[in-house]
Amino acid sequence: MKSQMLIGAASSGSGKTTFTLGLLHVLKKRGCRVQPFKCGPDYIDTQYHTMVAGCASVNLDTWLASEDHVKQLYARYGAEADVCVTEGVMGLFDGYDGMHGSSAEIACLLHIPVILVLNARSMAYSAAPILYGYKHFNPAVHIAGVVFNQVAGESHYSYLQQACKDVGVECLGYLPRRSAIEIPSRHLGLTLDEKFRFDAFTDRIATLIEEFVDVDRLLQLASVPLEETNSAQTDHLRANPEKACEANITIDKNNGAVSEKSSMRIAVARDEAFNFTYCENIRKLEALGEIIYFSPMRDSLLPAAADLVYLPGGYPEFFLEEISENDSMLYSIASYIKAGGKLLAECGGMMYLCHSIIGINGVGYPMVGALKQDATMKGMKLHLGYRKLNYNGMALRGHEFHYSHVNNSLPSETTMYNAKGMATNTAFIRYKNAIASYAHLYWGEQNILDLWK
């Protein structure tokens, strides 16, 4: 038995992220080993979970991955934790097809209770029918309790308590209205800059949770068994990591498999401009060889003798001058591609490979120039959704989220489809051995090297 919960809500903007970050902070202050997870394809919230919890947050997504894979991830990462906290996505039952792909589906799949965060800013006793609906809509989804957000005070809270009592949903407390815990946003998720002190921000939320939420009762209600999936062989090696090192093998957290580790050198971009990655993608790269991180903003050259370069997405549009002025890195990457080096670029990474990126100010900034097209932030429009494609015999899935677009787009190697099976105009580009797309791919169950076979 251990405390496990999914933080769900009736809709986006209800306070899931605020409450999750504050709760993670409270648990860390108590000395708990806490493992965060995130429902869905979000690669930003996981970064903030990681900063608070001190360990990597893991995506759980039944569109990107199989149900078995999701269960294995949850069991393996959760096994060593005292508390598992999963932040939901959108409204509790919102999926790509009805409930499919929703937070509720994850809660059912993993048999974990839901703590509902309900925005009470413009309601009082009317919370009762909402809670009644969430409690009874699907009996397989266990609503263990509710925390109210944006509560005006004790008088307001008394109406909400009465609503819970009449419906039979346990009321665990509330977060009062405070401008100091409102999350600033940049496209999607939190903004981290010099003016935003993240530790102080989460500490403010934690202080309010400790004052107004019954955390002990929450943990008690969320105490359920954790299903185990580890194989005996992997258990032995995890318990004796020196044995794995001696044998030059790696333990794959995706499925418990033990495989030989090659001598590949994999260069992964990681700095303020490029950081949108999935935890399991990085783990799969670690299983293939040695990862060397580098910064396109500050390093002068690619890591020497790289066998594969990975340019993930991020916020290049906010660092155009720094990226564009690093001529030696631009030349290093262009030369690597020209020589036939294997490279995968996603979203912001794909923009970086273009001839230029045109900023919001209308100014064009020279980039690598390997892809003879221009990315632009002018006329910003949200492009969002799941994507699937077939290439080189691989069936791949991913997620697209960006406001930029490409002028004079290069032809696509294959067609990408959305979750409904409809063709999209998202290009999947290949130039020599450089593969680039707006889609953030998930390869937690695959060998990404098969793209180049």
How distant, in Å, are the alpha carbons of 269, 296, 305, 320 from that of 299?
10, 6, 15, 15
> How many CA within 13 A on the CB side of residue 133?
10
Active-site residue identified among 164, 171, 279, 347: 347
With contact defined as beta carbons under 8 Å apart, do 127 and 120 qualify?
yes
Q: DSSP 3-state assignment of 248? A: coil
Q: Locate tokens 């909400």: which residue?
A: 160
> How many CA within 13 A on the CB side of residue 152?
10
Residue 245 is a catalytic residue: no
**Tokens at 203, concatenated:** 């500490």
With contact defined as beta carbons under 8 Å apart, do 96 and 39 qualify?
no
**Tokens at 23, concatenated:** 């709760």
User: Pairing between strand 249-251 and 258-260?
Assistant: antiparallel
Helix (H) or strand (E) run with residue 203 in it: helix 198-212
As a whole number of angstroms, the distance between CA 369 and CA 351 comes to: 10
Query: Cα torsion for 158, 162, 163, 168, to the nearest 10°?
Result: 140
- Residues in contact with 71: Cβ distance below 8 Å, sequence separation at least 6, in sequence order: 109, 110, 227, 229
Chain CA centroid to CA 233, Å: 30
**Tokens at 428, concatenated:** 């999947």
As a whole number of angstroms, the distance between CA 44 and CA 26 comes to: 21
In DSSP notation, 252-306 reads -TTT--EEE---EEEEEE-SSSEEE--HHHHHHHHHHEEEEEE-TTT-SSPPTT-
Residue 134 main-chain phi, psi, to 5 deg:
-70, -30
Q: DSSP 3-state assignment of 153? A: coil
201: nearest Cα among 218, 178, 219:
178
**Tokens at 381, concatenated:** 């429009």
As a whole number of angstroms, the distance between CA 84 and CA 57 comes to: 10
- Residue 356 neighbours by CB distance under 10 Å: 20
Query: What residues act catalytically?
Result: 347
